[in-house]
Amino acid sequence: MILIANWKMYLSHADALALAKEVVDFNIPKGLEVVLCPSATALAAVKEIVGKKVSLGSQNAFWHEEGAYTGEISCTRLKELGCSYVLLGHSERRQYLDEKNTMIRQKMHASVATEIQPILCVGENATLRKKGMTVEYVTRQIEAALEGIEPTTELIIAYEPIWAIGTGDACKPTDAKAMRDEIETVMKRLKWKKYLVLYGGSVDEKNVVDYVKGAGFDGVLVGGASTKKESLKAMIDALLQ
Ligand code: PGA
């Protein structure tokens, strides 16, 4: 089971380090992997604090390995900092930075080549859901991002309906499970061997178990609630039971 803490751009440098120090003292059982995804500026310092007890993930990566790409960070550089995971295609990046499926595909290829585990984020907005286009849209996102990647590659897919992200309006576990099943169907059709499916979108200590034990997800991708020590600890404790 895996819990990805996506700290987005919420925490100051000092607060990120303070929270990382708390997390290493949590009781994290063998069956649960916790991945902290702080701002890029805090990756190295967080790694120093957490060592091997907790994993490190980046919130983004660029597709070229090196060169004249001002402001970008390659998977190779992230690996040097100790990142073993990278979030790709997060809806906030699709929305605010206009990331397209073709860009996300290139990032996927780069992360696979660098052996950083990609976490592919997919999900529909409220309009698509109302129109009944969720399955078609998410299927397209997955197919486009995976084009040209060997189905033997280990993969993590995070289903995050956009309307549920940061809104407190979490997707009903039964609806999330229906999407999990659809994603399963796509992956079977693509003959994918090893993959996990996570749920994300307003996960907190009250509902986390519903997604993992109820809806059968392999873990969760948590934003807001993962930036608060008490909520993060309570989610880990809830997953233990
Ligand atoms: P949220 O964010 O938990 O704050 O809804 C989830 C995400 O965007 O990964």
State in Å: Cα 224 to ligand 1 middle. 6
**Is the pTM here over 0.85, yes or no?**
yes
Which tokens in the block code for residue 102? 């073709």
Q: Among the options 92, 99, 160, 205, which is catalytic?
A: 160
**Tokens linked to 50:** 């957490």
How many CA within 13 A on the CB side of residue 1? Answer: 23
Predicted local confidence at residue 229, as pLDDT:
98
- 75 CA distance to ligand 1 middle (Å): 23
Task: Give how far Cα 57 sits from Cα of 37, 85, 115, 119, 133, Å.
Answer: 5, 4, 13, 9, 31
| pLDDT value of residue 220 | 98
Nearest to 222 by CA among 87, 124, 84: 87
Looking at ligand 1, which residue's alpha carbon is closest to its atom 7? 223
Q: What is the pLDDT along the chain (241 residues), one digit of tens a residue?
A: 999 999 999 999 999 999 999 999 999 988 999 999 999 999 999 999 999 999 999 999 999 999 999 999 999 999 999 999 999 999 999 999 999 999 999 999 999 999 999 999 999 999 999 999 999 999 999 999 999 999 999 999 999 999 999 999 999 999 999 999 999 999 999 999 999 999 999 999 999 999 999 999 999 999 999 999 999 999 999 998 7
Atom 3 of ligand 1, residue of closest alpha carbon: 223
pLDDT at 132: 97
Annotated active-site residue 66? The verdict is no
Instruction: For residues 198 and 77, give the distance between their C-alpha atoms in angstroms, rounded to a whole number.
Output: 26
Distance CA(73)–CA(37), nearest Å, equals 15
The pLDDT value given to residue 240: 83
Residue 90 annotated as catalytic? yes
Name the residue with the closest Cα to ligand 1, atom 2.
Answer: 223
Cα separation, 57 vs 79, whole angstroms: 10
CA 129 from centroid of its chain's CA atoms: 21
Tokens of 159: 């289903």
Ligand 1 mean position to 168 CA, how many Å? Answer: 9
Predicted local confidence at residue 241, as pLDDT:
78
Mutate to test the pocket of ligand 1, among 7, 165, 198 (most ligand atoms within 8 A of CB): 165
Could you give the 3-state DSSP secondary structure of residue 5? strand
Cα–Cα separations (whole angstroms), residue 91 to 56, 124, 210, 227 = 20, 9, 23, 19
Provide the pLDDT for residue 43. Answer: 98
| Cβ < 6 A, ligand 1 pocket | 6, 160, 165-166, 200-203, 221-225
| CA atoms of 218 and 32, how far apart (whole Å) | 10
Write down the pLDDT at residue 29: 84
